Structure 1
Amino acid sequence: MTQAAEADPQKVIGTRIADLRTRSGMTLDQLAQLTGFSKSYLSKIENSHKVPPIGSLSRIAAALKTDMSALLHSPAQGASRGLSVVRASERRPVVRGGTAFGYDYQSLAGDLPGKKMDPFLFTFPSEIDKYVFFEHEGEEFMYVLKGRVEWQAGGQKLVLETGDSIYFDARLPHRGRSIHGEAIAIVVTYSPQAKD
């Protein structure tokens, strides 16, 4: 992988997905069938023309029989003896605003093999596509660090203030946006490990 690709997390994700898929002997058609995404959408992700949200990354990782950390972190950032430390100065954005969904998020955990949770620092956009909701296997926990978040999950609309938290089944269609100004939250996703 080139240093330029390594420097741009959005390109790194697509490259890692393509590498893992080809190393496992899986075709794009097979990945599409396993994830429920179109072959065209997956091709755009692999070629860094689209950046998938966390729910999509979770589904892709499960289909590739790995966890999200394999898509988000290089092996050089690997953890040893069951411990992973990510210093603030080492934290890199996973997805930056300006993507189709407008969310910015940074991974707060390194490449700990077999981990079941993925914590992220989310910055919510104020404008969202009124038709787009996310859903995936697993569970999510969110704690609002700053601002106010309008959160929708399972047909309910809630306003979460600084210090509020929510825990929910990630299969419920969900999304969030900043109500006014900057809104930042810690979001922890739990995804069941894909089994052989």
Structure 2
Amino acid sequence: MSGFDVGARLKQLRLKRGLSQRELAKRAGVTNSTISLVEQNSVSPSVSSLKKILDALPVSISEFFAGEEIAQEHIFYRASDLTEIGDGKLSWRLVGARRPNRSMSIIHEHYPPGADTGEDMLEHEGEEGGVIVSGTIELSVNGDSQLLTAGDAYYFDSRLPHRFRNVSDGDCVIVSANNPPSFADGGNHQHHG
């Protein structure tokens, strides 16, 4: 996550909400030491554990990485304009993170070998779908797992527990969308507690 200070950003948001590390840990269902280690940048949280912590604030993943400012509407985005919301191992680059009133998330996802959204299954409001551009991904949704390869696609209710893992020895690239943008939104907090 080149250059982005996850620890300082988490501490800033926690203090802004007047929460102690202990209180945030309790709300998020993680240990006090987890919050402390993340804030010191001693540990890089998986997407699923970072989401648990941010849901407790509540702050969306895109808001966390994009910062507070909302930009004017753009139509075209260069690769360098996309906002990285991944966990340092896997890369999720969000299109239009700062776009006002964004009603969907479009994400360019890159999973190197072994990358995983985390042991905790993701669950959030809405629907999501995507197309595998290259490589292979193991997608587990509600107890059903499939290996998907280039050209394959998926579409499911995001409230079902789900997880993405690259179990191959090559990179996997996916372009996905979800609506409403509850997982990576610009402020519509529709997360499960």
Q: TM-score, normalised by structure 1?
A: 0.73
Contact 1:84/1:110, CA 8 A, preserved across alignment:
no
Match of 2:124 in 1: 137
Which structure 2 residues correspond to residues 19-168 of structure 1 after superposition, within 5 A? 19-75=12-68, 78-80=70-72, 86-91=77-82, 93-95=84-86, 102-112=89-99, 115=102, 117-127=104-114, 132-139=119-126, 140-168=128-156
Contact 2:137/2:164, CA 8 A, preserved across alignment:
no
Q: Give the fraction of aligned pairs with identical amino acids, expressed as a percent.
A: 21
SS of 1:145's equivalent in the other structure is strand
Q: How many residues align?
A: 181
More helix by share: 1
SS of 1:179's equivalent in the other structure is coil
Letter in 2 for 1:37: V
Deviations 1:147-166 (A, max 9, x none): 22222232222121222222
Higher relative contact order (CA closer than 8 Å, sequence separation 6+):
2
Give structure 1 stretches of 5+ with no counterpart: 1-5
Contact 1:120/1:187, CA 8 A, preserved across alignment:
yes
Q: Quote the RMSD (CA, aligned, Å).
A: 3.1
Contact 1:69/1:110, CA 8 A, preserved across alignment:
yes
Q: Distance in 2 between matches of 1:123 and 1:151?
A: 14
Contact 2:48/2:120, CA 8 A, preserved across alignment:
no
Q: TM-score, normalised by structure 2?
A: 0.74
Q: Distance in 2 between matches of 1:53 and 1:84?
A: 31
Give structure 2 stretches of 5+ with no counterpart: none
Structure-2 change in CA distance of 1:68 and 1:155 (3 Å) = same
Structure-2 change in CA distance of 1:34 and 1:136 (3 Å) = farther
Match of 1:174 in 2: 163
Q: Distance in 1 between matches of 2:101 and 2:11?
A: 20
1:185 and 2:174 correspond: yes
